[in-house]
A and B are shown apart, each in its own frame.
Chain A
Amino acid sequence: MSSAKPHTLSETMPTGLLDGYQVPEFFCELMNRKGPIPEALSRVRSRLAAMDVAELRKRTASAEAQLYSMGITFTVYSNREAIDRILPFDAIPRIITAQEWSHIERGVQQRIQALNLFLHDIYHDRKILKDGIIPAGLVLNNPNYCAAMVGFKVPGGVYVHVNGTDLIRDMDGRFLILEDNARTPSGVSYVIENRHMMLRLMPDLASGLPIRSVEEYGPRLHQTLCEVAPEGVLNPQVVLLSPGIYNSAYFEHVFLSREMGVPLVEGRDLFVENHRVYMRTTMGPKPVHSIYRRLNDEFLDPLTFNPDSLLGVPGLIDAYRNGNVTLANALGTGVADDKAVYAYMPRIIRYYLDEDPILDSVETHICAEEEGLAYTLANLDKLVVKPVGESGGYGLLIGPHASKAELDEFRQKLQQDPSNYISQPVIDLSVTPTLCPDGVEARHVDLRPFALTGRSVWVLPGGLSRVALRKGSLVVNSSQGGGSKDTWVMAS
């Protein structure tokens, strides 16, 4: 090497990946466990320590170029132009020990059982409302409460077939449930593609470690959809219903239909005749029995919901209510993952299962209630305030990071429409070492495990670890500058 340009420090002296890492006061998944280092972590740590930053940067650039070329992207459309963006990928994995995972797994299973029982109840006997556990108005006047589901029996009593649970860890490393995603949760394709990428990119890091596989998801999803098909159908035809190529999650729809080996259909590929659903094929109509729909409730059937929607299938809800086709997830599940209902989840779990919640929730104040509003207004600068209807990290206020003017503005919004908001204390999210422009630094991270429910609840041993790439940021959503990491659940 006889280059004339001046050498930078990293070029002349290879530095260990973790050498310059400033261990934060937060719980750090890798470097500050607030206790002894689990065996599963120490090997990864020593292997990482032996790598250098320049090499990692090179590999990361190659990974991102591959993701872009392979079209593992979400697409943003503006001015008739399609812009493909990748979810930024960080090559330092996030590790979950076997013990931590068994806790998460049981907690998620319990939560989903309760969600399904809750949904069945509020669309049938409404015992939980009559017993005053949760205010009836909160459920029955909820915009996501679906009148078409009242009294309708879904196959196997399953409403939430596919669920994503957002988990965070606090200062002490305790896992807390931040949010349920019981409608059409997305992101699982990144869990699997991140793993593929990781094994190509960092074989030296992964070699010989007891990392649990995430490959089973596709076949399991197919099996789940077969299990909940209408009774008496021997070989159910499963399809994935997508809004089409213009949807930002289209890549995931493609990915999942390929993994399951089922057609990826759009509304115009399906039609309803005699209360049954068919798809249009080169060999005539073919019956469809189970639909994994990645279309929100209001677009599914223009005859029942939004009459202007061109994405749906006229008559689909009629076929559904006649028991000739299964929709996964069921209609009207949005009421269960509502941010206001979330506050009642610990009570909902106790009510139906007579058990304490295995995974804790974040303490939540409901601004629709007088006490909650008063507390929120008095402590605005210390709280995170979220609008209940929004998702994707939009419209929220992080009190400690807000200016005086922002606080005042939000205070007004709260007073005008209190029932639209909940508030929670700011959780000091755990961090994990992440490759940043200035080296490896601590960044906040969350975890979204995915669970499938047919005859039983199965949790994919892994999950989407989203990283807030901006220094100090607590917002991990991809629409707000988040990236992702591979999540290694260790078998031992």
Chain B
Amino acid sequence: MMELAHFPLLSRYAECMMWLARYMERMENLARLLEVTETFVRDAEGQTAWDSIVSINSDESLFSRLHPAGSSADAVPFYLTEQENPGSMRSMAHAIRENARAVRPLVSTELWTHLNVFTRWLLELDGTSVKTSSLSGLCGRIRQECQTHYGIAEGTLYRDQAWLFYRLGKHLERCDQITRLVDIRYHMLLPQGEVPGSAIDITQLDSDPTGQHTERNCQYVLALYSHRYQSDNLAGAGIGNSSPLHQIVLNRTQ
């Protein structure tokens, strides 16, 4: 029997499968971040926590343009319903929907039906009505829908090239998100003189319900970084022992 992965795939389908998976992964991550940050904000110590989401996503310039005098609480509608923000839940729901529509001939009816209902719900979300108090429940549902999606994808997609591109997109985004997390963790902690393992540190890692997984993932990615840094011998180019990532790597691998 010929391997399904040997059948050519329309290039556009490959692209859309990759982006579909990437956006789903990104959406789930954002839901985790928002939920964790919200928990954080309740604590008097964590007043600046909303800012860190903006930095994690490198959205500083867009955010300050849309909210020149904005308080950090503007981050919630900015990440939920802001149409100008391509990284908001709403914009991602739109992107997921259009990509899924394009690959609809390839994917199962279940996969499409679920995304159809899920994204329509997100698109109809009214940003002003989302109170901080209900944010956690909202993010919880988004995460659950994302996980349902992965389950349907795993259970119903053919193991063909479309599947490979789907996985590529998902893992590419996961790597991206992990490096962002690692970077921001460093960015947040060092200036304040905190040490790894402090309350803030732990909370960030807790954005994954099993913090240990994140930690393990981090170590994996950091190991990759470390390997590359060493083999490329970049120390002389100014990215040596003083590099934040490098220091974290040393911290973690000790």
Contacts and interface: CB of A to CB of B under 8 A. Distances in A.
Nearest to A280: B11
Given A257-B105, A258-B105, A71 B113 contact: yes
B105 A263 contact: yes
Contact of B105 (A69, A254, A281, A282): A254
Contact of B10 (A69, A245, A263): A263
B104 A254 contact: yes
A419 B109 CA distance: 48
A269 B11 contact: yes
A349 B9 CA distance: 45
Contact of B11 (A69, A250, A254, A281): A281
Contacts, number: 48
B14 interface: yes
Nearest to A262: B105
A70 B105 contact: no
A279 interface: yes
B113 A70 contact: yes
B117 interface: yes
B180 interface: no
Contact of B113 (A69, A245, A257): A69
Contact of A245 (B101, B112, B120): B101
A238 to B, nearest CB: 13
Nearest to A239: B10
Contacts of A70: 109, 112-113, 116
- Interface SS of B by simple majority: helix
B191 interface: no
A47 interface: no
A29 interface: no
Contacts of B109: 70
Contacts of B8: 281-284, 286
Given A69-B113, A70-B116, A71-B116, A282 B9 contact: yes
Nearest to A73: B116
Interface string A265-309: 110110000000001111110100000000000000000000000
Given A69-B113, A69-B116, A70-B109, A281 B10 contact: yes
Interface string B110-123: 00110011001000
Contacts of A265: 10
Interface string A48-80: 000000000000000000000111000000000
Contacts of B105: 254, 257-258, 263-264
B117 to A, nearest CB: 5
Contacts of B252: none
A281 B161 CA distance: 11
A280 B10 contact: yes
B109 to A, nearest CB: 6
Interface in B88-128: 98, 101-102, 104-105, 109, 112-113, 116-117, 120
Q: How large is the interface on B (under 10, 10 to 19, 20 to 34, 35 or more residues)?
A: 10 to 19
Nearest to B120: A84
A254 B98 CA distance: 14
A286 B101 CA distance: 23
Given A70-B113, A71-B116, A245 B102 contact: yes
Interface residues of A, number: 22
A281 B9 contact: yes
Contact of A269 (B12, B117, B120): B12
Contacts of A268: 12
A284 B8 CA distance: 8
- Interface SS of A by simple majority: mixed
A284 to B, nearest CB: 8
Contacts of B9: 281-283
A281 B101 CA distance: 19
Interface string A199-217: 0000000000000000000
Nearest to B104: A254
Nearest to A286: B8
Contacts of A69: 113, 116-117
Contacts of B101: 245, 250
Contacts of B112: 70-71
Contacts of B161: 282
Contact of B12 (A71, A254, A266): A266
B162 to A, nearest CB: 10
Nearest to B161: A282
B11 to A, nearest CB: 5
Contacts of B117: 69
B144 to A, nearest CB: 17
B10 A279 contact: yes
A268 B120 CA distance: 28
A8 B101 CA distance: 44
A461 B206 CA distance: 60
Contacts of A263: 10, 13, 105
Contacts of A245: 98, 101-102
Contacts of B113: 69-71
A69 B117 CA distance: 6
B59 to A, nearest CB: 22
28 contacts: A69-B117, A70-B109, A71-B113, A71-B116, A245-B102, A254-B104, A257-B105, A258-B105, A263-B10, A264-B105, A266-B12, A268-B12, A269-B11, A269-B12, A280-B10, A280-B12, A281-B8, A281-B9, A281-B10, A281-B11, A282-B8, A282-B9, A282-B10, A282-B11, A282-B14, A283-B8, A283-B9, A284-B8
Interface of A: 69-71, 84, 245, 250, 254, 257-258, 263-266, 268-269, 279-284, 286
The 6 nearest A-B residue pairs measured at CB: A281-B8, A283-B8, A264-B105, A280-B11, A245-B101, A254-B104
Given A69-B113, A245-B98, A254-B105, 15 more contacts: A69-B117, A70-B109, A70-B113, A71-B104, A71-B112, A84-B120, A245-B102, A250-B101, A257-B105, A264-B105, A268-B12, A279-B10, A280-B10, A281-B11, A283-B8
